Structure 1
Amino acid sequence: MSEREFTFTDKDFKRVQKIAYDFAGIDLNDSKNNLVYNRLAKRIRFLGMSAFHEYLDYVEQQGESEFIHLINSITTNLTFFFRENHHFEYLSNTVIPELLKKNAATKKIRIWSAGCSTGEEPYSIAIVLKESVPAGWDAKVIATDLDSNVVNTGMTGVYKIDRLKGISEERKSRWFKKGEGSKAGFVKTKKELQDVIEFGQLNLMDSWPFKETFDVIFCRNVVIYFDKPTQSKLFNRYADQLSSEGHLMVGHSESLYKVCDRFELLGQTIYKKIK
């Protein structure tokens, strides 16, 4: 095995494990030692430091801003529009028609994109809402993430054109504006989509500011980083935050089996609240 550039002891790894768990609920098992080293070494190099213990002291001194850098380094923000498209098809074909009947009196729909990353997920939800919900309804997406940088990317709404892979030409021209000149190769979401979404920074481990319940919650490829007790607590909080028979969408490798009994699996990582 090649010698490492920076000193990284078992004590250092245990400190990273504790920081990740205490701050963001992330459970790093021992098999992640190399991943943690490789991801954080880039940050240490950038800061001009010489050892992990020096960096971890710095993390604890800096507080939240550097905690978030650390969490981002060891998790993945990669996403694209309409990823795991069956969720959006189910939303369009089944959930929204149900909500148009169920919420006819209030004419209001609320969807939460929890762990929204750079915004592709909430914009995909917003497209479905704009295409499926009649005029005169108050339909909104609340999009939150731990990292204010990715939230700002979402608010700006500018993306490399390759993030639109798999989107029909009709949708591309309807909902995105192509960049020209220095902005060639990029697209910007149209204002009518941006108006549907409220972006904000939120740590899921903290208290939540919401005064109302949601009809649907998307929390995909987030709980893969959490241990079972943390997952159980989070899914129970989601159930509390959902309206009666509300829907929860999780990532392709995630499951509520033996974690939370307040949802019924409808198939393909789509759940319905039952209690």
Structure 2
Amino acid sequence: MDKNLFLEADLEEIENGYTFNSEKEIYKCLVCGEVFEIGEIYSLNGRFFEAKKAITFHVKEQHGSMLEILLGFDKKYTGITDNQKSLLNDLYEGLSDNEIAKKNGVSPATVRHQRFMFREKAKQAKIYLAILGLVEKSLGKEIKEDFVKLHNGATMVDERYEVTNSEQDQIIETYFDTLEPLKLKTFPTKEKRKIVVLRKISTLFQSGEKYSEIQINNILKEVYADIATLRRYLIEYGFMERTKDCKEYWLKG
């Protein structure tokens, strides 16, 4: 699942689980990326649908509850703790305050307080979005476009990841001899620069493809002599994952 699709969608699209591109006249599933084009008829489970009904049916039948999917996101995306996720799911299921309290071993007053805090947080989010929207309009562009997007597997998200596009370009120019083919001069010691360099190197790998350690090494040795360092940091910073026996590697997210 590409979480960047969710981050780029608006609120209604996230709740629905799909986006609509009016220029291309296509609906796109946020969960799996499947596309449904206006003008086409789709057969799903023995029934036939036009594009909009097809994407709605697809999301419900293939992916189930959007709430469950969203609650499955890491805290860095939602700002919600595991306990809060459990409470929100209970509320969604229609449990009463007393039932939720009994289930979680707390008092009904605690549940009511948490519900109140959820509503307050929602109000704060509205004001924050309004403020940010006004600032963006005054700049004539969206603030989010100035910063490089986090990769899905980003670990320990902090100021290290606050890199503007211009900063990224400068770091790449400084640390790479050439981009075609990708040749690294030296591996940086500063954290922010490491992340930029690793992000660039990760583009050499295909999403959804599995690699053996030998394949990983063969690709990395063309970039930089210290293969072990590159491989270790690609894992450590969440760009790639591997099996416990280190026999298979793949892009994370």
TM-score when normalising by structure 2: 0.25
Whose Rg is larger? 2
Of structures 1 and 2, the one with the larger relative CO (CA 8 A, separation 6+) is 1
Normalized per residue, the structure richer in helix is 2
